[in-house]
Each structure stands twice: as C-alpha cells, then as structure tokens.
Amino acid sequence: MKKILLASCVAAISAGVNAELTPLSEYELHSVTGQAGVNIELDLGIEIGEIRYTDTEVITQEIIFVDDGNGNLIEQTIDVSDGDGGSFSIKDLKIGGENKSRWFDYNNIVSNPSDNLDEVIFEIDIQSDGALVVSGNPTSGNFIDYKITTGAISTLDSSGDEAVRLVDSFSMIGLAAGLLMKVEPDGNKVILSADIAIEDMDIDASTNGLAFEDVTVAGANYIEEVETFGKSKPLSWAFALGLILTPEEDSVNIELLPTVMDIVAPKVTVGDGLVGAISINDLALNNISFKISGRD
C-alpha cells in the first residue's frame, strides 16, 4: 500500500479520536470522493431469521486389514470422518435505525428518526488507477443513527440441535458520522474507516451467568468530560475505527488501525446478582493484526 495512503488512514483515525462526532468530510481520505460519480441514498431495514456457518464434514476413505477369523488378513475400505459438521448460528439479526431524537442527552441530533437505517447517501467514485472509493455520510449533515440486534448466538451439533448457547441476545444502538471504504487495485487491498459512537449496548449471556447492560463506547476523553461537566456540554462521543484487509494466496490478513476509546459498563451482572460497574479509560488498540485462513 502506498505510504501516503497509510499515513492518511492513520491521520484520519487519530483525528477522530478526540473530536466530537464530525462528518467524514474533515477526513483527509474524503478528498478523493470530491469527483463526479454515482450517489445512492439509503433507506432500509434488514431482518434475517438466521445466519448459519457450518464447518463441513469431510469423509475420507482408508484401507485397513482385518482378521477373517482364520488367521487371514482381509483388506477393507472404511469411511473416516474428520469430526466436523457442527455449525455456528446467529438468530433474528435486525439492522436498522433507532426511532429517537435524544442522544447522549442532546435533542435533535438525528433529523428524521425512524426504525430504518436512512438519511444516508453513498458516493461511489472510481479513480484513474482503478481504485474504488465509497463514502457514506448523513444526507442532512447531522448524524446516522443505527440499531443492531440479534437473538441467540449458539453452536449447533451436526444434527442441527443447539449445543452451546454463547449469547442469549445482543443489542447495540449508536451514531455514526459516516464511513469510508477504498479498494486498492494492487492486490485488491481494502481499507475501511468509520467514525462512530455506541450509546447503549446490551449483551445478555445469562445462560452462562453473565450480562452487561447500558454499555457506552465513546472517544478517549468521554469519561473525563462526563466526570468534569456531566452531560451539560458537547462530549467527545466518537472513536475512529479502521482496518485494512489484505487477501493473500490462501488467507486474508486483517490489520486494525490504531484507535483509543473509553468504555463504561454501569450494570454488570454475574449469576443472579448485580456486581457493579466497570469503566475502562483510554483503551488503546495498537499494532493488532491477524490472519484468517481455511484448514486443509
């Protein structure tokens, strides 16, 4: 990847960390979208009954020799399973908007609250070198509200029956100033960047004796500003999130761009009782990368 592009990504991430939610037009990378292209206005609500990934069972044949009872060895061919065949399931996935206008104790942040993911315009440009650039921003100049919920998240056995319940339900609502995606022609490298805030996230894993309620994930100065000013003035809501996807011959390498965030979990339940609150101040994610590949 060109050094200037990486520097722009890092600069974009750093700029978003300590600022309020700000439209992505302030990002350096956004300058590449100021050309003629295709604009798409988005208004959608998505409901999916189940997403299921199955670790396909592989059957191979092996030759063994067995005694026929008379001291003679007879060649036999048997089927041998690799032991896979289970699945990972996410039920009742819904993606849309949150129908409210008050966010982080401020009114009229979202101009047209609804249950859909709307008031978003995507600008699509193709540069002279063939790179594809897609930017998404609020149509009204305010912010994009989003809501993501699921039902049970589980593993299933090869018969399709639930084996391990990981999460009973998940819910997350928040705001986004926008997003940017660039697909590089060199190796189809994909760069993603977004400026977001999570106002309320609930993770119900009561089956496993754990639950988190009303979790907020925001910018690096959020905790200090709430402690000093309450919510009587604009806060550093946003944290920037970015990653680079690089396909390789038999795998995909994922690199997270540096970011800093505050996490506030006011209600943490273990077993049958509320154990208290957890705050994580200035959680820095640096130099994180991992590789995903199939198994032979």
Kindly tell me if the per-residue pLDDT of 8 is higher than 60. no
Is 100 or 229 the better-scoring residue by pLDDT? Answer: 100
34-37 own/partner pairs: CB under 8 Å, 24+ apart: 35/125, 36/125, 37/123, 37/124, 37/125, 37/126
d(CA 111, CA 295): 48
Q: Cα–Cα distances in Å, from 158 out to 152, 173, 295? A: 18, 34, 19
Residue 22 near residue 193, CB atoms below 8 Å: no
Is 82 or 155 the better-scoring residue by pLDDT? Answer: 155
Kindly tell me if the per-residue pLDDT of 294 is higher than 90. no
Give residue limits of the domains in the chain: 3-53+85-293
Please, which pLDDT band fits residue 231 given cuts at 50, 70 and 90?
low
* pLDDT for 7: 37
Read off the amino acid at residue 74: I
Kindly tell me if the per-residue pLDDT of 228 is higher than 50. yes
Mean pLDDT estimate for the chain: 81
Collapsing DSSP states into helix, strand and coil, what is residue 184? coil
Chain segment 56-74, per-residue pLDDT in tens:
877 788 888 887 778 788 8
Kindly tell me if the per-residue pLDDT of 176 is higher than 50. yes
The mean pLDDT of 131-157, rounded to a whole number, is 89
Please, which pLDDT band fits residue 151 given cuts at 50, 70 and 90?
very high
